[in-house]
Amino acid sequence: MRGSSGSPVPFGTRIYGVSEVSGLICDLLDDERLQKIYVRGEVTNYKNHASGHHYFSLSEQGGRNSALINCVMWRTYASKLGFAPKNGMAVLARGSVEVYEPHGRYQLIVREMSPEGGPGERHLMVERWKRELEAEGLFDPGRKRPLPVFPCRIGVVTSPTGAAIEDILSIISRRYPAVEVILSPTAVQGDGAHIEIVEALQRVDGLVDVIIVGRGGGSFEDLFSFNHPDVVRTVAACTTPVISAVGHEVDTTLCDFAADLRAPTPSAAAERAVPDRREILRDLAGHKERMGALLFHRLNAAGREVEDLRARMHPRRLTRRINERMQRLAEHEDLLRRAALSRVQRERSALAEARARLEGRDPLAILERGYCIVESEGGIVRSAGDLGRGDRVVLRMKDGRCRAIVEGVDYDEDV
C-alpha cells in the first residue's frame, strides 16, 4: 500500500487525520496530573490584549533545563489579578494544561497568578501543612469533644480591639449573661501573630469551660496565622473544648479542622458556646407547669384515698362491717357443722350396710337358728354321698361340738 505522495505505508497501518491527532493529544492532556497545578516561572512575551485576555509565556532558564510554556489568562480570571505582570517577573501560576486543537498547540490556562513569594507560595505552603497535620491525626473526627451545655466561664482568644470580641460579648450578654467571659488577647494577623495566638491559647486553657478562638473576616493573607502548624497543634492539644471562628462562612483555615467545633463566624461561635436563656426560661416554665399538674393530680388522688380510708374507718361503718364478718363466720360455721354431721351419718349408714353384708355372709350365723355343721376328717360334709355307714363325724352347733357314728345314709329321691 502507498500513501498519496507515493511513500510506502505498511499494510494495515492506520492513517490519522490532523484533527484526530489533535484529539488524541487533547485526551492525553486530560490527565489529572496536568489539572489544577502550580507552575513557577519567569514571565516572557507578555501581552495584555484589548479584549482583556492576557497572553504570555513562562520560561525556565538554566542550561539543559531551559524550557518555555505558552500561557493564557482569560479576562474573567485576569480581572482578579492584584498586580501588573511584567516581562522578567518571577511568578507562581495555577491552572490546567489544555490543547488548542485548531493550531495543535498546548498551553497553560492560568486561573490564578501571584509574584513568587506572594499568596500563591503561601497557598502551596498551607496545602503542605494540611497534609502533614492530617497525617498526624489532628483532623480525626473521633477527637472531637462535645461542648458543655451550661458553661460557667468562656475564654476568648482574639484581638482586644477587633469587631469579633464585640460581637461575642454582645451575643453572650443577650443569650446567657450569667457566664463569665475571659479575654486572652492576641494579635490575629501579621508577622509573629501565630506565636501570640499559641501563647493566648495556652494562657486560658484549663481555666475556662470552653474556648473561642478566631477573628473577623479578611483576605487569605489576613487569616494566614490561623493556618500555622503551631496554632493548629496547640488547638488540638488544649484540654478545654475549642470552637474555631475564623473569618466568614466561606473562609476555612487549618485551625477549623483541629477544633472541636467550627463556627462560620465569631457571632455564631458565641451562639454555640452558650444556651439561650429565653429558651431555658421557656423550658423551665414548661417543666413547672407539668410538675404543677402532676402534683395537683397526685394531691387529688391522695385526698380521695384519705376520704375513702376515713369513710371505711367510721365507727358505725366499722361496726357494721364487723357484724357482717361475724355473720358470715357464723354461717360458715353452721355450714361446716352440717356438712360434718351429714358426712358422719353417711359413714354410719355405710358401716351398717357393710356390717349387715358381713353378717349375712358369716357361716356361723345359721347356727343360731338350730342348724349344725357336719365335719369329718376330710373337712365339712356338703353331701350325703360323702358319708358311709360307720363313719365318725363331728357335729358343730352354736355353743359346742358332739361326736357321732353314722348308722346309715338315706338319699333324697332327687339325688
> What angle is formed at CA 145 by the lines to CA 192 and CA 230, rounded to 5 degrees?
15
Q: Which of 67, 158, 78 is nearest to 114 (CA)?
A: 78
- First-to-last C-alpha distance (Å) of the chain: 152
Which residues have C-beta within 8 Å of that of residue 2, sequence separation ≥ 6?
8, 9
Question: Ramachandran region of residue 64, left (φ > 0), alpha (ψ -120 to 50) or beta?
Answer: alpha
Please report which helix (H) or strand (E) contains residue 217, including its range: none
What percentage of the chain's residues is helix, strand, coil (to nearest 5)?
45, 20, 35
Task: Spell out the per-residue pLDDT of the chain, length 415, in tens.
Answer: 444 445 567 777 787 666 677 677 777 777 778 888 888 888 999 999 999 999 999 988 654 556 889 999 999 999 888 788 888 888 889 999 888 777 678 899 999 888 876 656 677 788 889 999 999 999 999 999 999 999 999 999 999 998 999 999 999 999 999 899 999 999 999 888 999 999 999 999 999 999 999 999 888 888 999 999 999 999 999 999 999 999 888 888 999 999 999 999 999 999 999 999 888 889 888 988 899 999 989 998 988 888 887 777 667 777 777 888 888 888 888 888 888 888 888 888 888 888 877 776 676 777 777 788 888 886 888 888 788 888 888 888 878 888 888 888 888 765 4
Phi and psi at 213, nearest 5°, equal: -120, 130
Nearest in space to 255 (alpha carbons), one of 242, 274, 273 = 242
Instruction: Determine contact, residues 156/181, Cβ cutoff 8 Å.
Output: yes
